[in-house]
A and B are shown apart, each in its own frame.
Chain A
Amino acid sequence: MNEEIKPNPGDEKPGNTSGISRRNFLKICGISAMAAAGSAMVLKRKELAGSVWQLDPEKCIQCGRCATACVLTPSAVKCVHCFARCGYCDLCSGYFVQKPVALDTGAENQLCPTGALKRTFIEDPYFQYTIDEKLCIGCGRCVKGCADFGNGSLFLQIRHGRCKHCNECAIAVACPADAFKRVPVTNPYLMKTDVPGGKKT
């Protein structure tokens, strides 16, 4: 019943082991188990390129957390405009506050807190709206305005040039609509296209 007193691993000189010691046996077992489990896991998924975070604009409720929850300031999330969906309205609900004083580019009329949405005249009564990406903070106010009263042509996307690719996206944790997911890096954007509800694949 004596406790087995085995020599401490370091006592044996390196290279002095003859045959397969218990430790080497365990090592071989460990490596083969790791290799087998790992390759089984990867081969089953067939995603060799890896994944990045992206938000699904169809699930997004424009709560504004994208602007605040990101580890970056300003956020890696920015607004994107699908022109093919846009109605080019004079009274754009994504551009103007609820009761604008006038339909012009006055700051008091604009919904965007940073003036990132630009309005240019095309022809009567149509106006084109473009996003100045440098100014956009991803708050989604224009997206909400456009989704609630317009065509839903504005939407939010994580810009991968800015994204730090955190292993756990801080916005995904904060997102109340469960809109964030990992997507293949080869197809890293979930676009709105001119087809309502359609996604570019």
Chain B
Amino acid sequence: MSMPRKVFSCLGLFFAAMPLLTAQNRFPKPDFTNGYKVPELSPLPTAASPLERAMLSIAPYLQYAALAMLLIFLILSCYFLYRKRSRRGVLALALAAVAFFGFIVGGCICPVGSIQNIAAAVFNPEFPMSPVVLGIFLLPLFFALFAGRVFCGSVCPLGAIQEVVNFYSLKVPPLLDRILRTIPLFYLGSGVLAAATGIGFIICRFDPFVGLYRMSGPFFILTADGGLLLLGVFVARPYCRYLCPYGVLLGWLSKLSSRRVSITPDECIRCRLCEDVCPVDAIVPPSPPNEDREPLRKSLRRIILLLILLPLTAAASGVTGYFLGAPISLLHPKVELYRQVSTELAAGDRPQTDASLAFRSSGIPVAKLQQEAGGVVSNIRLGSCILGIFLALAVMARLFNFSKRREQKDYQVENSLCVCCGRCYNVCPRDKRNRIMLKEGG
């Protein structure tokens, strides 16, 4: 009765020649004589643990619960910031966000990463898209429209952990700050390009804090994580200010918000304490008196120069983007696979990589892969051309903003930069509670 063994040794000869034969029913189903009953799949789904079964059955609702929690956190953030004017409340909420969105939920899916789901869903009709993902993407933006970046202050798990560790705000030199603040634009642009063309979700891949929340991750991410947190102790929110792509969107929308952190409920005495304590340099001093400003003619000339340069830069950067498209497309797995397979086939080699092995044993014709890879390359070319133009326009708009004249009499918060941490409330000597405390103390 050792038939299976014999069959096995015979077949072994064939398999030496074709190791990639797909799995088949090589051996017949045995006829058991002792009443043995063939079990179902092991350990799935019947043998799955009760916990797993329970988790699976409530998984769809859990996602909605996470969305509801996001809404609750955003409302609480507004409440502490605008109604209670409480830095302590904001900080407590940030701690709660680290615990809930970070360690309990595990980080995914967060609004920062959801940019890519949206981009992928817009450009790829087959990409799955659920109302939860859409809600997670839109809710903080919606709040930014009406109340500024309340999401950043005490809801975002990435921002909250930096808020919690930050205890000293080293001032970044203004020029360096302005230069570094363009990085998020590039990060946002490339993240959307990569997600839309199918290269991957690079914003998630290089998310520095999710590894901490999961207590595991690739070595370089965990190192970057530790480094950023350490930096965040002395320089407030390095990720939020100089990397976060979602912050760009929040910044744009919060410019429309009429609600903002009003530093003093009373008349400003221009003590500059808030300007010193602001961790993200979002507090803009009053505009200087007219005689101290640069002459109108000079700023006008600069703006005209910028307007002339605008189409030139946009065109140049669009063309650069187009030509960078080919090297960028090598990051796409399909293009890389085609490159590998075609070089192997040209040299008459056996498959060198697992990917090429998998492709060549799948029976899909190379011509199909070539066609698909070609489509991907042209998409990426077009995308990076558009990205180039977008980046040029965005950077020029920033330069334009620097040259714009402001009329402002008090120390005021620039909404697009303010991360709603509430530190300025605590130092303002005119703040009601501070005044009471001063009175009681002296």
* A binding-site residues for B, Cβ under 8 Å: 1-3, 5, 7-12, 14, 17, 23, 26-27, 30-31, 34, 38, 41-42, 44-45, 47-52, 59, 61, 63, 65, 71-73, 78, 80-85, 87-91, 93, 122-126, 128, 130-131, 133, 146-152, 157, 159-161, 164-168, 170, 173, 176-178, 182, 184-186, 188-189, 191, 194, 196
Within the complex, which residue of A71, A89, A131, A168 is in contact with B217, where a contact is CB–CB below 8 Å?
A71
- Cβ contacts under 8 Å, A48 to chain B: 60, 130-131
- By beta carbon, the residue of chain A nearest B216 is A71
Asked if A161 and B358 sit within 8 Å, CB to CB, the answer is no
Q: Does B390 contact A (CB under 8 A)?
A: no
A2 vs B211: C-alpha distance when bound (angstroms)? 52
- Cβ contacts under 8 Å, A157 to chain B: 44
A165 vs B211: C-alpha distance when bound (angstroms)? 13
| Listed residue (A71, A133, A164, A167) with the most chain B CB atoms within 10 angstroms of its CB | A167
- Cβ contacts under 8 Å, A84 to chain B: 29, 38, 40
- By beta carbon, the residue of chain B nearest A153 is B23
Asked if B11 and A149 sit within 8 Å, CB to CB, the answer is yes
A164 vs B125: C-alpha distance when bound (angstroms)? 25
Q: Does B384 contact A (CB under 8 A)?
A: no
- By beta carbon, the residue of chain B nearest A85 is B25
Q: Does B371 contact A (CB under 8 A)?
A: no
- Cβ contacts under 8 Å, A131 to chain B: 42-43
Give the interface SS of chain A, mostly helix, strand, loop or mixed.
Answer: loop
Asked if B38 and A146 sit within 8 Å, CB to CB, the answer is no
Asked if B109 and A167 sit within 8 Å, CB to CB, the answer is yes
16 contacts between A and B (CB under 8 A): A3-B299, A42-B130, A45-B130, A50-B60, A63-B354, A71-B216, A82-B41, A83-B38, A84-B40, A87-B30, A89-B4, A150-B23, A161-B52, A161-B56, A167-B110, A196-B23
Given contacts A61-B354, A161-B55, contact A151 B407 (CB under 8 A): no
- Cβ contacts under 8 Å, A165 to chain B: 106, 108-109
| Listed residue (A51, A128, A148, A149) with the most chain B CB atoms within 10 angstroms of its CB | A149
- Cβ contacts under 8 Å, B114 to chain A: 167
- By beta carbon, the residue of chain B nearest A160 is B56
- Cβ contacts under 8 Å, B128 to chain A: 45, 47, 50-51, 182, 184
A100 vs B107: C-alpha distance when bound (angstroms)? 46
Q: Does B250 contact A (CB under 8 A)?
A: no
184-205 of chain B: CB within 8 A of chain A:
200-201, 204-205
A31 vs B355: C-alpha distance when bound (angstroms)? 44
A89 vs B255: C-alpha distance when bound (angstroms)? 70
Q: Does B329 contact A (CB under 8 A)?
A: no
Q: A84-B40, A125-B3, A196-B23 are in contact. List 4 more A-B contacts (CB 8 A).
A: A50-B128, A83-B38, A168-B204, A185-B59
- Cβ contacts under 8 Å, B205 to chain A: 168, 173
A49 vs B67: C-alpha distance when bound (angstroms)? 13
- By beta carbon, the residue of chain B nearest A197 is B22
Q: Does B12 contact A (CB under 8 A)?
A: yes
B109-151 vs A, CB cutoff 8 Å, 1 = contact: the mask equals 1100110111001100101111111100010011001100000
